Amino acid sequence: MATFKKLASGKWQAQVARKGIRKSASFATKREAQDWAARQEFLATNVETSKSNLTLGDVFDRYAKEESPKRRGERWEAIRLTSLGQYPIASKLISDLKPQDLAEWRDSRLKEVSAGTVRREMVLMSSVLTTARKEWGLLSSNPMSDIRKPSSPPARDRRVSDGEIERLMTAAGTDLLQATARAVHAFRFAIETAMRAGEVVGLTEDSVDRKSRVASLPITKNGTARQVPLSSRALALLEELPDSDVGVFGLNSRQIDVLFRKARDKAGIEDLRFHDSRHEAITRLSKKLDVLSLARMVGHKDIRMLQIYYNETAEELAQRLD
């Protein structure tokens, strides 16, 4: 309901109150004040009507179109949100969404996939709901904040042996004109540098200073640029590559994943992923660099993150004691 009052200055003040929220503004004439109040009431009514018709699936779609493109994980988010949109909870009206609904979805999802997958999906959904609350005004609170996440799975501690690297090279071949051979070559380079797959395939001639032995990464997973020092071995691996117009390794993220798995399976190696190169690299580098230098090289702002990747065995530690 709107109320109007003439101020001592001669202006007219309009006040609009709806569900405990008040807005006010002053105008030169009463007519202007009335027009403004009518507009505010119209907007409030229609926004509330729009909210009442929106489903969680609608919010997923909007987030995928407006917010995901701003992130490095755009493709993963878009695919995941499309998948989440197929579940019954997506048809729930956003205005009716309760923590209990999300808890039921979580428990059902845990019967289908790992706890780690559910945690990642919950983080994504929480980001969607937070944006819907803060940016779009569709929620007064984020119901996901009241939901307990599944326990984190144990940190992966897969190491890579020299023997396995030799088997990968045998399976992929040594002809670096072949994409599969370059995928394994990239794996070896990642072990030298602790760079992620996406960072490796993103390398260009302009981003590698061979004289100073530094690779510049303008975009990384945590959103900040990073410079990676290159060992003489890492530099030698780069020198062996043929010229390419599409990055130093001539591969994209999808190719490097598919081709590495192809070589791994041909080599008969079990439970090995490209990202295990980062675990191996950090463990090896820990013998050469102090913890702060290591964190800077691999791009960890919180040195506690190194504990996730540092996997030196007790036997290796024992040898360092002598």
Catalytic residue set: 196, 221, 300, 310
Contact 71, 124 (CB under 8 A): no
CA-CA distance, 306 to 295, in Å (whole number)? Answer: 7
Instruction: Enter the tokens of residue 264.
Output: 């791994």
Please, what is the Cα angle at 228 between 75 and 290, to 5 degrees?
120
Q: How far is residue 269's CA from residue 172's CA, in Å, rounded to a whole number?
A: 13
DSSP 26-87: EESSHHHHHHHHHHHHHHHHHHHHHHHH-BHHHHHHHHHHHTGGGSTTHHHHHHHHHHHTTS
Locate all alpha helices (DSSP H) within 67-194, ordered by sequence: 74-84, 99-110, 115-134, 162-172, 179-193
Residue 187 burial class via C-beta count within 10 angstroms: exposed 0-12, middle 13-18, buried 19 and up: buried
Residue of 80, 83, 85, 88 lying closest to 108 (CA atoms): 88
Residue 172 dihedral angles phi and psi, to the nearest 5°: -85, -20
CA–CA distances in Å: residue 216 to residues 25, 112, 254, 268, 280: 53, 41, 22, 35, 22
d(CA 239, CA 135): 49
